[in-house]
Chains A and B, each alone.
Chain A
Amino acid sequence: MTARSLFLLGFAAALPLGLGCGGGGSDGGTSSPEIACTDGGAAAANAVALTCGGATNGTTEQVDVVLGGPAAGTTTLRGLNFDVMYDPAKLEYVPAVTDTSPLFSPNALVAVTLFNGQPGRVVASIQEFGSVVAPVSVGTGQHVALSLSFRRAAGATFGPTPLALENAEATAASAPIGFGSALALSYQ
């Protein structure tokens, strides 16, 4: 594990301490529990962050991997690698039928799966293939690179549980790309 990934893991683990409940939280036991998501807001310039993509039903939340564009001009890159860590006692990763990236080209190679098939770590990679395809040019603003879905683990009720990024890096980026996650999901 690299120093950077250790930093990212520690940053993600600290999130529940500074974040309150969000979304459809408990109203004192009178309403049905729903999954709720809180995040750190928009991704910073030339940084990747996890952001809430909205609940698809009461138990499932879409989590977007968002690349913040540069403050001005463009940043180019050929891909992203990262792991998404989560608590398998509370959350379950829901694989997509087909993983595609809105940010990268339709022909980009996208690989998303559970590490060793075991819950708790999602390994993801998006890569433009071959040097014959131009790298992606990212302008200012927010750019969704990938969307992942998580739902509550069967029978679990829980307060905010963080989703952290590890082993994160950009491929052939024209500027340093930072990675951080302030996203937490709760179901109570």
Chain B
Amino acid sequence: MRKRASLLIASLLLLAAGPAVFSQTPIIAMGDASGFPGDEVTVRLVLSTSGVLVIATESAFTYDTGRLTFVSASVTGSALAAGKSVDATVSGGVLEKLSVYDAGSNWSTPIDDGDMPLLRFRIAPTATPGSLLTVLMHDCTYTIAPTATRAATCGSGVVFVQVAANAPAISLGNASGAPGANVTLALRLATNGTLPIATETTIAYETSKLTYVSAAVGSAAAAAGKSVDPSVVGGVLQKVAVYATGGSWDTPIGDGDLALITFQIGAAVAPGSTLTISISGCKYTVAPAATTEVTCGSNGTISVSGAAVCPDADGDAYAVCSAGCSPAPGKQCGDCNDGNAAVHPNATEACNGIDDNCDTVIDNGGPALCDDGNVCTTDACGGAAGCSHLNNALSCNDGNTCTLNETCSGGTCGGGSARSCDDAKACTADVCDPVIGCMTQTVNMAAAEFSANRVDGRDLIVLADAYNSCPNDARYDAAANLDQVSTLPGACIDGTDFHLFMNSFGHSCP
């Protein structure tokens, strides 16, 4: 009843206004906004009725969904005063349409000029600073009655992605150390409210006094999943880049250490001096194609302190010491040749004409240094000419217990005579194992009746039954393994065993 009355009043108002009412078109405008990458910004919609009664509006939107993310819509201003609500149509997180209306008692209340909904968007962290992100509003309509919807004029808005008001600062810290020592300086980042995802810094230093050792990722960079990429040419550090190529590429780096750079102070650098490591070309990146160079912060300094470190040029952990220096931690004095890492105290002396172990004796050990472990060669040390190994004709042992009186020939041990394992017992098979030596086994394998005390056909039956069998065969009989070879293939009962058997065949056994 109330709704019908309102409709009637509205219709009367429309008639009273006459054709002039429709000569004007309401304007739904959109305000601009600005923010830094990663910020949320608010975009205002503003209604200008142009004297037309507007009880509801509707607008469609198109915008760069890769750089702007719709967050929310809320009613405010004149729309709120007219009791309207806002209804956002969102598909897949993308704002498609926005309606301002009232389905309740205020449905026919006209909206005055002024603010309508407030839209909130988030600017992507990767949005390029300084770029303009347009939010296009189109297909705007207004309603003067439930069945009277007409086109309104749309005005699009712009979101400006701000360049950070305060650029990030990259600086290098300080360190101190003695000559010869390693020192580490921190490359630091102060974001100043920016969201850098990568940095690059050019490094310069006196290469005659400092030696680049390493660069490790700093705590702030590590927390953002970054890596450090030092650019080193000829052992000289040129640049330090901090970035990530994987899933953390767009994660902003917070305040803190970007990288830890280690140098070795030259052993000859005078204590008390200060070494400067200059930084330049400081750049930061907030998006892959948005790299900005900023003024670098402070350079790094190294205060050279303490006594000089005794040099260890060859890196063998033994330094050449003098009264004016001390060996670096973990190193010892006493190197007699700092240009050869193989020469130092406790080194193994070799036959080479050099005092390898710094005991002042060259080739200390003589022929023993050239021992090749072969008794059939006579070893000698010839200084710088190295070892010689001349064949000899000494008595030797070839390791085979079945040979006796071996001699050296041509550098190898051999010859000699076969060892006899004959135990003078007719009924045993006597064999020689190269490792074990002499072994005997009875051939009188059957011990009943006439065969009890002699080797005869009954024993041959035992051998024949097992003949051509090997260990693990069902027919195998260890008693018939007369050559006593324990492993295959010699362990099989075969012609060798028959040959040994025949040596005893036909003999009586006491």
Contact = CB atoms under 8 A, between A and B. Distances in A.
A167 interface: yes
B483 to A, nearest CB: 16
Interface stretch (A21-29, A55-63, A117-125, A178-186): A117-125
A171 B454 CA distance: 18
Contacts of A130: 464-469, 475
Contacts of B466: 130
Contact of A124 (B451, B457, B463): B457
Contact of A5 (B450, B456, B464, B501): B450
Contact of B456 (A78, A117, A125, A131): A125
A169 B457 CA distance: 9
A123 B456 contact: yes
Interface string A29-64: 000000000000000000000000000000000000
A111 B450 contact: no
Nearest to A121: B506
Nearest to B474: A131
A127 interface: yes
B458 interface: yes
Contacts of A78: 464
A129 B450 contact: no
A88 to B, nearest CB: 15
A79 B506 contact: no
A113 B392 CA distance: 49
A81 interface: yes
A107 B451 CA distance: 24
Nearest to B426: A116
Nearest to B459: A125
Contacts of A169: 457
Instruction: Say whether chain A's binding surface is mostly helix, strand, loop, or mixed.
Output: strand
B195 interface: no
Nearest to A80: B457
Contacts of A128: 464
Contact of B506 (A1, A5, A117, A171): A117
B468 A129 contact: yes
Interface string A94-118: 0000000000000011010111110
A111 B460 contact: yes
B505 interface: yes
A129 B464 contact: yes
B502 interface: yes
B460 A116 contact: no
A11 to B, nearest CB: 17
Given A123-B457, A125-B457, A109 B465 contact: no
Contacts of B262: none
Contacts of A115: 454, 506-508
Q: Is the interface of B mostly helix, strand, loop or mixed?
A: helix
Which among A5, A82, A130, A132 has the greatest number of chain B C-beta atoms within 10 A? A130
B461 interface: yes
Contacts of B508: 115-116
B444 to A, nearest CB: 13
A59 B237 CA distance: 111
Given A2-B450, A131-B465, A123 B498 contact: no
A80 B469 CA distance: 22
Contacts, number: 85
B392 to A, nearest CB: 47
Nearest to A166: B450
Given A2-B450, A123-B456, A167-B450, A111 B465 contact: no
A129 B465 contact: yes
A109 B498 contact: yes
Given A123-B456, A167-B450, A114 B463 contact: no
B506 A127 contact: no
Contacts of A83: 456
Interface string B436-472: 0000000000000111001011101101111111000
B478 to A, nearest CB: 16
A81 B457 CA distance: 5
Nearest to A128: B464
B506 A114 contact: yes
Interface string A1-25: 1100100000000000000000000
A176 B420 CA distance: 45
B38 to A, nearest CB: 88
Interface in B334-391: none
B251 to A, nearest CB: 78
B449 A125 contact: no
A129 B456 contact: no
B464 A109 contact: yes
B506 A116 contact: yes
Nearest to B449: A2
A111 B454 contact: no
A132 B464 CA distance: 11
B463 A109 contact: yes
Interface in B302-351: none
Nearest to B468: A130
Contact of B457 (A111, A117, A129): A111
A134 to B, nearest CB: 14
A65 B456 CA distance: 18
Contacts of B456: 81, 83, 123, 125, 167
A171 B461 contact: yes
A116 B510 CA distance: 12
- A-B pairs, top 9 by smallest CB distance, nearest first, are A125-B457, A81-B457, A129-B467, A127-B464, A113-B506, A129-B464, A123-B506, A125-B460, A167-B450
15 contacts: A79-B457, A81-B456, A109-B464, A109-B467, A111-B505, A113-B506, A114-B506, A123-B454, A123-B506, A125-B505, A130-B466, A130-B467, A167-B450, A167-B457, A169-B457
Given A79-B460, A113-B505, A129-B467, 17 more contacts: A2-B449, A5-B450, A78-B464, A81-B457, A81-B461, A83-B456, A111-B460, A111-B506, A114-B506, A115-B454, A116-B507, A124-B457, A126-B457, A129-B464, A130-B467, A167-B450, A167-B456
